[in-house]
Amino acid sequence: MGLSLSSSELRGIFAVAILAAVWAALVLGILAIASGNALKRLLQTHSSDTALNSKARSAVVLGWSALAVVALFWIIHFLSKRRMLL
């Protein structure tokens, strides 16, 4: 009664999972940067709470880090595809 999948089906499932994770990192990274910058702008005019300012800065850094990981993944992906064609 177990689920038996071929290796090509498992590779396809793995590829879809990786692709979903990359897209989620891209979307959430952009949202973190936008939200962090908006909060920093709001805190400049309305509050001097250093804890919130630190969290806003952390959101921006985390967002840029996520985008860097996505860019690195795409670079590795395209380089590996290029080598396969050569």
The predicted-structure confidence for 7-58, as pLDDT tens digits, reads as follows 888 888 888 999 999 999 999 999 999 999 999 999 888 877 888 889 999 9
Residue 1 lies in a domain: no
Q: Residue 57 sits in which domain range? A: 8-85
pLDDT digits (tens, 9 = 90+) for 58-70: 999 999 999 999 9
Q: What pTM does this model have?
A: 0.77
For the four alpha carbons of 44, 50, 51 and 56, in that order, the dihedral sign comes to positive
pLDDT of residue 63: 95
Are 33 and 63 within 8 A, CB to CB?
Answer: yes
Give residue 76's region: left, alpha or beta (phi > 0; psi -120 to 50).
Answer: alpha
Residue 2 lies in a domain: no
Count how many domains the chain has. 1
Separation of alpha carbons 86 and 71, rounded Å: 23
